[in-house]
A and B are shown apart, each in its own frame.
Chain A
């Protein structure tokens, strides 16, 4: 694979992605190229098409139009090879409820083609990376939301993929766990292509090198977090990311008073 060695070639390449569910046009022509070393924050209101887009990139859903290439492999042409290239944390971090963390990760290791000592070492490393040592013998269904999310992350990281696709990786974590996961993502970002969706805009500022905002199935902003902030109305001084997000996704003209409302709701949410 030539694209492996070529650092400039995009790891993720989505062209004109479309998805229709019956008469609902959920994703309307999304183009996305993510090279190694980029941490892309995928933003948008609920129902904007974030999860649907991620599900098409990972091959869970077939697009109604367009195509997806991962490390140069077209997922429609060779889905199994394409699925080897990435780690994916689906929305809600699902796992088998009756399996223990260790059993579950061993299953993932086997599914990724590792055996024997190699598989064991990978499970150990994944457990260590997201601090799951204390719950490794516990059944998944008995875990707290934070541990469930971390098990999902461990699963996605296990084969050390060049691409990580994470659907709300910090959802349900406490502030300390959020901090740890952000540090981990920053550390991983160096030579990987990472796409993460989130509702927390400060997270984008903290870990992402690029921000993409989608609304009603189409991209409305694509740039650096700093550029996104600069899109906020000039009179807004606090929480400029939130103001910019609101301006892009609601079309509201956000004045100072509105920004204060936004910061208040944000305070209540935290």
Chain B
């Protein structure tokens, strides 16, 4: 019998991350997701967003639809994270390997983030197009990309948590889509206008500040406000912590 090497937390997370990230590409999920994401992003930008008609060299029509794309595309990525492990029984295997629950939660979450970031990076022809046609503010575009990645990350953290609550991927998908929609809705102009009529101003702003949409749109304009970044970071951390508890609570069901 040999001595068994001990891994640091970072090494353990890396092992989990690599397996999880590869698993996206071992099924048709990656191809289907990437094709649909890129197709819809293009469709929204050019046909609905009026990219050419606006005659402005920026990517606003591209970025403004990301939240709505993510509402149903992010749950497709996150739904399998834990539900699948529980359905196949592999959860018992990974939880008896020398990993901590936090290693598994973080590794899986980062793999899902890396996957959506790959999808996002593949939209680079948009950036090239707008640079070729005009003179966009590259700083604004970069910050908007960052905002989009953060928004996807926040939704993924929500989705990973909800996936840990069920064995059924369809339930995980629906719960996540609804949760992400609610997170956006609180900042939707129609909702804010509706309550503005009777609620005090502080309450309206309070509600708006809980919404991912408000923070996303403020970053989309190209300004890195610490409050916006902090908001996304807090949503991610809060749901990852909940995820750890959810696994301890539901793993044996």
Contacts and interface: CB of A to CB of B under 8 A. Distances in A.
Nearest to A191: B1
Instruction: Please classify how large the interface on chain B is, using the bins under 10, 10 to 19, 20 to 34, 35 or more.
Output: 20 to 34
B92 A108 contact: no
Contact of B95 (A60, A91, A108): A60
B226 interface: no
Interface string B227-239: 0000000000000
Interface in B87-106: 88-90, 92-100
Nearest to B253: A21
Interface stretch (A126-134, A156-164, A230-238): A156-164
Given A60-B251, A113-B7, A159-B4, A83 B97 contact: yes
Contacts of B97: 83, 108, 111-112
Nearest to A51: B92
Interface string B201-214: 00000000000000
The listed residue with most A CB atoms (<10 A of its CB), out of B12, B26, B92, B251, is B92
Interface string A100-111: 000000011011
Contact of A111 (B23, B88, B99): B99
A162 B1 CA distance: 7
A59 B248 CA distance: 11
How many chain A residues sit at the interface, stated as a range, is 35 or more
Contact of B93 (A81, A90, A192): A90
Contact residues of B: prevailing secondary structure: loop
A95 B84 CA distance: 11
A174 B5 CA distance: 36
B15 interface: yes
B252 interface: yes
B23 A96 contact: yes
Interface string B1-25: 1101111000110010011000100
Contact of A88 (B1, B96, B252): B96
A94 B6 contact: no
A83 B90 CA distance: 16
A84 interface: yes
26 contacts: A55-B92, A59-B96, A60-B252, A61-B252, A62-B248, A79-B100, A80-B100, A85-B4, A88-B96, A90-B92, A90-B93, A94-B89, A96-B23, A96-B88, A98-B26, A110-B15, A110-B18, A111-B98, A111-B99, A112-B4, A112-B97, A113-B98, A114-B5, A160-B1, A160-B2, A161-B4
Interface of B: 1-2, 4-7, 11-12, 15, 18-19, 23, 26-27, 88-90, 92-100, 248, 251-252
Given A110-B18, A161-B4, A192-B1, 20 more contacts: A55-B252, A58-B96, A59-B96, A60-B92, A61-B252, A79-B100, A90-B89, A90-B92, A90-B93, A94-B88, A94-B93, A98-B23, A107-B15, A111-B15, A111-B99, A112-B5, A112-B97, A113-B7, A160-B1, A162-B1
